[in-house]
Structure 1
Amino acid sequence: MRRIFLLIFSLFLFTSLYAQRMSDEQVIQYVKAGQAAGKSQKQMTTELLRRGVTQEQVLRIKSNYEAVKGEPVNADNIPTQMRKRSVGLGESYEAAELEDQKAVIDEKQNTQAQPEVLGKQIFGHNLFQNRNLSFEPSSNLATPINYRLGPGDEVIIDIWGASENTIRQVISPEGSIQVKDLGPVHLNGMTVKEANAYLQREFSKIYSGIGGNDPNSQIRLTLGDIRTIQINIMGEVSVPGTYTLSAFSTVFHALYRAGGVNKIGSLRGIKLVRNGKTIETLDVYDFIMKGKMNDDIRVQEGDVIIVNPYESLVEIVGKVKRPMYYEMKPSETVASLLKYAGGFTGDAYKKAVRIIRKSGREHQVFNVDEMDYSVFRLDDGDMITTDAVLDRFENKVEISGAVYRAGLYQLDGTVNTVKQLIKKAEGLRGDAFLGHVLLDREREDLSHEMISIDLNGLMNGTVADIPLQKEDHLYIPSINDLKETETVSIYGEVLNPGTFLHSDNMSIEDLIIQAGGLSEAAATTRVSVTRRIKNPKSTTYSSKLAETFTFDIKDGLIMGDGNFQLQPFDMVQVRRSPAYQVQRTVTVAGEVLFSGSYSLLKKNERLSDLINRAGGITPEAYIMGGRLIRKMNDEEKRRERDVIRMAYSGEGKDSISTAKLAISETYTVGVDMGKALANPSSDYDIVLREGDMIYIPEYINTVKISGSVMYPNTVTWEGGKKLKHYVNMAGGYGDMAKKSKAYIVYLNGTVARAKKSDSHLIQPGCEIIVPSKKEKKRMQLAEIMGMSSMTATIAAMVATLTNTFK
Structure 2
Amino acid sequence: MPAGIPAGTNISPQQIRQYMQNVPNAPALLSAARAQGEAGSGEVSAAEGEGAEGEGATAEQKVDTLRPAAFSSIEQLYRQQYNSPLARSLTQYGYNLFQTSTNYTSKLAVPGDSYIIGPGDKLRIRIWGNGQDAAYTGTVRRDGTIDVPQIGIIPVAGTPFGKLEDVFRSEAEKYIQGINLSVSLAELRSVEIYVIGEVSRPGLHLVPPFSTVIGGLISGGGVKKSGSLRTIKLFRDGTLVQVVDLYTLLLYGSREQDLPLQDGDVLFVPRIGPTAAVAGAVLQPAIYELTSEKTAADLLELAGGALPQTFTRKLLLRRFVDNQEFVIKDIDQRSGSADLAKVSIQNGDLLELQYLGATWPEVVRLEGNVWAPDIFKYRPGLKLSDILTDPSLLKPDSIIEFGLLHRYDPQTTRYRVERFPLARVFQHDYDAELAPYDRLEILSRKEYNIKEPVQLMGSVWRPGEYTYTPGLTLGDLLGMAGGFRFEADTGRIDLSRQEIRNGEVTTINKTLSADTNGDFPLQPYDYIYVRHVKDAASFKSVSITGEVKFPGTYRIRDGERLSDLIERAGGFTDKAYFYGAYFVSAKAKLIQQKSINKMIDDLELRVQSVLSDKAQTLATDKDAALIAGQQQALKGLIGRLRQVRATGRMSITLGPLASIKGTDFDFELHEGDSLHVPQKPNFVSVVGSVYNANSFLYRENLSLKDYLDRAGGPTKTADRKAVYVVKANGEVLASSQGSFFNSFWNYKPMPGDTVVVPENLDRLPYMQLIGNISDILFKIATTAGIIFAI
TM-score bracket for this pair, using the shorter chain length: 0.5 to 0.7
Once the two structures are superposed, the pairs formed by residues 296-307 of structure 1 within 5 Å of their partners are 296-307=258-269
Report the equivalent of 2:205: 243
Q: Structure 2, unaligned stretches of length 5 or more?
A: 1-23, 47-52, 76-88, 127-135, 174-181, 609-630, 739-743, 767-790
Report the equivalent of 1:136: 105
Q: What is the one-letter code of the residue matched to 1:673?
A: I
Instruction: Indicate the structure (1 or 2) with the bigger Cα radius of gyration.
Output: 2
Report the equivalent of 1:107: 61
Q: What is the one-letter code of the residue matched to 2:650?
A: V
Q: What is the one-letter code of the residue matched to 2:266?
A: V
- How many percent of aligned residue pairs carry the same amino acid? 24
Report the equivalent of 2:8: none
Please state how far the C-alpha of 1:281 moved relative to its aligned partner: 3.7
Q: Structure 1, unaligned stretches of length 5 or more?
A: 1-37, 53-90, 159-166, 207-219, 778-806
Tell me, yes or no, if the aligned pair for 2:317 and 2:352 is still in contact at 8 Å: yes
Deviations 1:223-274 (A, max 9, x none): 7754444222334545443223445332333344444456766655543333
Quick one: distance in 2 between partners of 1:413 and 1:634?
88
Report the equivalent of 1:8: none
SS at match of 2:679: coil
Farther-moved stretch of structure 1 (492-501 vs 754-763):
754-763
Tell me, yes or no, if the aligned pair for 1:418 and 1:468 is still in contact at 8 Å: no
Deviations 1:760-798 (A, max 9, x none): 597654665968999999xxxxxxxxxxxxxxxxxxxxx
Provide the TM-score with structure 2 as the length reference. 0.57
Q: Are 1:521 and 2:487 matched, yes or no?
A: yes
Report the equivalent of 2:288: 328
Please state how far the C-alpha of 1:357 moved relative to its aligned partner: 9.1
Please state how far the C-alpha of 1:136 moved relative to its aligned partner: 1.5
Quick one: distance in 1 between partners of 2:563 and 2:475?
47
Please state how far the C-alpha of 1:591 moved relative to its aligned partner: 0.9
Q: Are 1:622 and 2:577 matched, yes or no?
A: yes
Please state how far the C-alpha of 1:397 moved relative to its aligned partner: 1.8
Q: What is the one-letter code of the residue matched to 1:611?
A: I
Q: Are 1:538 and 2:503 matched, yes or no?
A: yes
Quick one: distance in 2 between partners of 1:108 and 1:618?
107
Report the equivalent of 1:550: 511
Q: What is the one-letter code of the residue matched to 1:492?
A: G
Deviations 1:124-147 (A, max 9, x none): 66765669x6521453334164x5
Please state how far the C-alpha of 1:715 moved relative to its aligned partner: 5.0
Report the equivalent of 1:668: 647
Quick one: distance in 1 between partners of 2:248 and 2:589?
90
Quick one: distance in 2 between partners of 1:129 and 1:516?
73
Quick one: distance in 1 between partners of 2:721 and 2:346?
114
Quick one: distance in 1 between partners of 2:306 and 2:642?
80
Deviations 1:552-609 (A, max 9, x none): 66xxx135xx997655433333322358465433321111133223221x22323343
SS at match of 1:271: strand
Going from structure 1 to structure 2, the CA distance change for 1:503 and 1:271 (only over 3 Å counts) comes to closer
SS at match of 1:620: coil
Report the equivalent of 1:25: none
Please state how far the C-alpha of 1:173 moved relative to its aligned partner: 6.0
SS at match of 1:328: strand
Please state how far the C-alpha of 1:468 moved relative to its aligned partner: 1.2
Report the equivalent of 1:394: 361
Alpha carbon RMSD of aligned pairs, Å? 7.2
Once the two structures are superposed, the pairs formed by residues 170-249 of structure 1 within 5 Å of their partners are 226-249=188-211
Report the equivalent of 2:550: 594
Quick one: distance in 2 between partners of 1:362 and 1:486?
77
Report the equivalent of 1:607: 562
Quick one: distance in 2 between partners of 1:44 and 1:623?
125
Please state how far the C-alpha of 1:671 moved relative to its aligned partner: 1.7
Please state how far the C-alpha of 1:440 moved relative to its aligned partner: 0.9
Q: What is the one-letter code of the residue matched to 1:253?
A: G
Please state how far the C-alpha of 1:46 moved relative to its aligned partner: 3.1
Quick one: distance in 1 between partners of 2:267 and 2:254?
19
Provide the TM-score with structure 1 as the length reference. 0.56
Going from structure 1 to structure 2, the CA distance change for 1:233 and 1:594 (only over 3 Å counts) comes to same
Quick one: distance in 2 between partners of 1:752 and 1:317?
116
Going from structure 1 to structure 2, the CA distance change for 1:299 and 1:731 (only over 3 Å counts) comes to farther
Quick one: distance in 1 between partners of 2:236 and 2:584?
116
Going from structure 1 to structure 2, the CA distance change for 1:448 and 1:772 (only over 3 Å counts) comes to farther
Please state how far the C-alpha of 1:275 moved relative to its aligned partner: 3.9
Q: Which of 374, 397, 418 pairs up with 1:408?
A: 374
Quick one: distance in 2 between partners of 1:609 and 1:571?
45
Report the equivalent of 1:46: 32
Tell me, yes or no, if the aligned pair for 2:193 and 2:205 is still in contact at 8 Å: yes
Tell me, yes or no, if the aligned pair for 1:529 and 1:549 is still in contact at 8 Å: yes
Q: Are 1:421 and 2:390 matched, yes or no?
A: no
Going from structure 1 to structure 2, the CA distance change for 1:116 and 1:764 (only over 3 Å counts) comes to same
Deviations 1:676-707 (A, max 9, x none): 98766888666433444422222234466778
Quick one: distance in 2 between partners of 1:356 and 1:388?
17
Quick one: distance in 2 between partners of 1:340 and 1:715?
122
Q: What is the one-letter code of the residue matched to 2:546?
A: G
How many matched pairs?
Answer: 643
Quick one: distance in 2 between partners of 1:769 and 1:321?
111
Please state how far the C-alpha of 1:42 moved relative to its aligned partner: 5.1
Quick one: distance in 1 between partners of 2:640 and 2:296?
88
Q: Are 1:490 and 2:456 matched, yes or no?
A: yes
Tell me, yes or no, if the aligned pair for 1:700 and 1:765 is still in contact at 8 Å: yes
Q: What is the one-letter code of the residue matched to 2:195?
A: I
Q: What is the one-letter code of the residue matched to 1:449?
A: R
